[in-house]
């Protein structure tokens, strides 16, 4: 197999490939030995947002003792703008399950728990069928369990997911140290994003050298990009990491001269439109404050208002807080309120802006999960990218984009106080 | 025998999920804990040297005085 795209989306026909079709599309047999060495050499990083090296995570779990280890496939995709995982699962579900099987084998887990949001019944059915097909094979791998968790922004956070598997509550947990190993019952848990699993499934077939043919040295391979905003229709593209942003926009038939891009989704950062020559990889986006994250790109055209979009996103994110930690439960609504004031400022805008900046500093780093930090990061990047526009708003002149009230970021409607979800 | 100065430092840590913003920690250890506008603690992030006996004592008071038992003292092996 050569170094062409698509890789994980190979064989996309608009319906999920059956196991038979899957094994003829990806015809190389799965590697059974030295899988871990191959994964380490590939340099695969997690595609769920953290970009943490997968091999290191696996190594941590390998060294854990204990029976009943669980491999968790995280396809929760709490990000409203992201639809890469559900696209992947409705195209190549078996590739994801192959990767999960490999990872389970590497850490010595007998169970694979696949977590999908329960509001998307189509994907749940696709996965049910895929798991049934696998149960008919003569070769028995690990047991697959399908878990349909409620869809919330924080439900996809790994500690929330493990909490849900343990006692049916999608709430993040407090972890005293960073290396704390999450457990379901007594078994240590490895949580990996669905796209990461699909890449593992490919590395297990074609090897690390093949995987590194695409991408840059620091971030090899390809990645899925959910492109929304000012595009002809929202779509998922598979691009090689290190592709220029302008080329991605062109391939997705998006507005070629946007005002800004929202990278990495609601917890990500705004990137000013003049950075389009940058390669799409963490090491080159990092210096300008952006990142690949969950692979979301929202295109904001010149006619839009960055402050309005930021306000709408923060409104929704404030409501999505699990309301466990004070700084998040009270701080995020306060940020949303400040942004609303700023949007409709009547002379008092400069004071509100100062308070907003101060509140950002107060909230950062004080939640159990990274939810408030993501919002703070997004607000801060908006303050620097849209500085001129926000300054005008603060002085009391609304821009045309805000007056037209056009929306480019698709924020779901807010369901108030619909929290605390059970099985 | 001379008292050897203790090496290392400590940080007061709060479990943000347990914390309900009673504010006792701010009363008991004002030098380590500030209160934000919603009443939740902002704890000094830099480690305090263990040789600072007053700070250590008030940190212990704060840990014992927390109604939700959300605080604990974490030792750091830092140079201070």
C-alpha–C-alpha distance, residues B61 and B65, integer Å: 6
Q: Answer whether the bond into residue A6 is a cis peptide, omega within 30°.
A: yes
* Cα separations in angstroms, A135 against A26, A77, A97, A145: 19, 26, 12, 11
Q: Which domains does chain B have, with CATH numbers?
A: 9-76 (3.30.70.20)
Residues of chain B contacting residue A328, judged by C-beta atoms under 8 Å apart: 16
Are A217 and A283 a contacting pair, CB within 8 Å?
Answer: no
At residue A148, the 3 state secondary structure works out as strand
C-alpha–C-alpha distance, residues A355 and A249, integer Å: 36
C-alpha–C-alpha distance, residues A210 and A221, integer Å: 9
What ipTM, to 2 d.p.? 0.86
pLDDT digit string, tens, across residues A69-117: 999 999 998 888 888 998 999 999 999 999 999 999 999 999 999 999 9
Question: Chain A residue closest to B43 (CA)?
Answer: A366
Residues of chain A contacting residue B17, judged by C-beta atoms under 8 Å apart: 172-174, 324-325, 368
- Within 10 A of A423 (CB to CB), how many other CB atoms are there? 11
Q: Which domains does chain A have, with CATH numbers?
A: 19-211 (3.40.50.11540), 223-299 (3.10.20.600), 306-404 (1.20.1440.230)
Q: Which residues of A touch B (CB under 8 A)?
A: 172-174, 176, 324-328, 330-331, 334, 362, 366-368
DSSP H helical ranges for A152-253: 158-167, 194-206, 208-211, 245-251
Question: Chain A residue closest to B39 (CA)?
Answer: A326
At residue A237, the 3 state secondary structure works out as strand
User: Which residue, among A303, A280, A158, A278, has the nearest Cα to A221 in the 3D structure?
Assistant: A280
B17 with A362: Cβ contact below 8 A? no
Distance from CA of A359 to the nearest CA of B (A): 9
pLDDT digit string, tens, across residues A187-228: 899 999 999 999 999 999 999 999 999 989 888 999 999 999
Distance from CA of B76 to the nearest CA of A (A): 13
The pLDDT of residue A258 is above 80: yes
Closest by Cβ to A174, choosing from B16, B39, B40 = B16
pLDDT digit string, tens, across residues A374-410: 999 999 999 999 999 999 898 888 888 888 878 888 8
The pLDDT of residue B1 is above 70: no
Q: Provide the whole-model pTM.
A: 0.90
A327 with B36: Cβ contact below 8 A? yes
Closest by Cβ to B17, choosing from A325, A330, A331 = A325
């Amino acid at each position: 197999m050569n170094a062409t795209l698509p890789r994980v989306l190979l064989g996309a026909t608009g319906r999920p490939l059956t196991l038979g079709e899957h094994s003829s599309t990806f015809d190389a047999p799965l590697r059974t030995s030295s899988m871990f060495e191959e994964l380490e050499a590939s340099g695969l990083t997690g595609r769920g947002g953290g970009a943490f090296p997968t091999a290191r995570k696996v190594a941590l779990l390998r060294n854990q003792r204990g029976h009943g280890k669980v491999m968790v496939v995280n396809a929760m995709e709490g990000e409203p703008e992201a639809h890469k995982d559900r696209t992947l699962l409705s195209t190549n579900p078996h590739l994801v399950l192959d990767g999960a099987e490999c990872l389970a084998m590497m850490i010595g887990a007998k169970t694979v728990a696949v977590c999908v949001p329960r509001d998307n019944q189509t994907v749940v059915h696709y996965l049910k069928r895929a798991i049934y097909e696998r149960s008919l094979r003569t070769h028995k791998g690990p047991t697959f369990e399908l878990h349909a968790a409620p869809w919330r922004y924080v439900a996809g956070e790994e500690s929330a997911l493990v909490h849900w598997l343990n006692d049916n509550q999608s709430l993040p947990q407090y972890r005293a140290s960073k290396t704390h190993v999450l457990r379901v019952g007594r078994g240590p848990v490895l949580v990996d994003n669905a796209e990461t699993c699909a890449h593992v499934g490919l590395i297990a077939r074609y090897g690390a050298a093949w995987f590194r043919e695409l991408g840059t040295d620091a971030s090899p391979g390809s990645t899925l990009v959910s492109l929304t905003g000012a595009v002809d229709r929202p779509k998922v593209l598979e691009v090689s990491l290190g592709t220029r942003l302008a080329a991605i926009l062109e391939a997705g038939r998006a507005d070629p001269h946007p005002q800004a891009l929202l990278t990495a989704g609601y917890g990500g950062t705004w990137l000013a439109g003049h950075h389009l020559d940058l390669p799409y990889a963490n090491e080159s986006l990092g210096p300008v404050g952006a990142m690949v994250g969950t692979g979301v790109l929202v295109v904001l055209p010149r006619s839009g208002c960055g402050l309005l979009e930021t306000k709408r996103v923060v409104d929704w994110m404030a409501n999505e807080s699990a309301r466990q930690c004070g700084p998040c439960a009270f701080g995020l609504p306060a940020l949303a309120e400040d942004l609303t004031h700023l949007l409709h400022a009547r002379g008092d805008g400069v004071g509100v802006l100062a308070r907003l900046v101060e509140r950002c500093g107060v909230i950062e780093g004080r939640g159990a999960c990274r939810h408030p930090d993501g919002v703070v990061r997004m607000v801060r990047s908006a303050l620097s990218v849209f500085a001129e526009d926000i300054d005008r708003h603060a002085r009391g002149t609304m821009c045309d984009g805000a007056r037209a009230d056009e929306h480019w970021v698709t924020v779901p409607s807010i369901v108030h106080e619909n929290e605390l979800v059970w099985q | 025998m001379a008292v050897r100065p203790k090496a290392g430092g400590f940080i007061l840590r709060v479990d943000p999920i347990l914390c309900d913003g009673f504010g006792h920690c701010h009363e008991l250890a004002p030098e380590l804990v500030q209160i934000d506008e919603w009443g939740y603690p902002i704890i000094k992030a830099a480690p305090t040297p263990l040789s600072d006996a007053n700070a250590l004592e008030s940190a212990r008071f704060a840990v014992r005085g927390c109604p939700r038992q959300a605080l604990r003292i974490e030792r750091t092996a830092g140079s201070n």
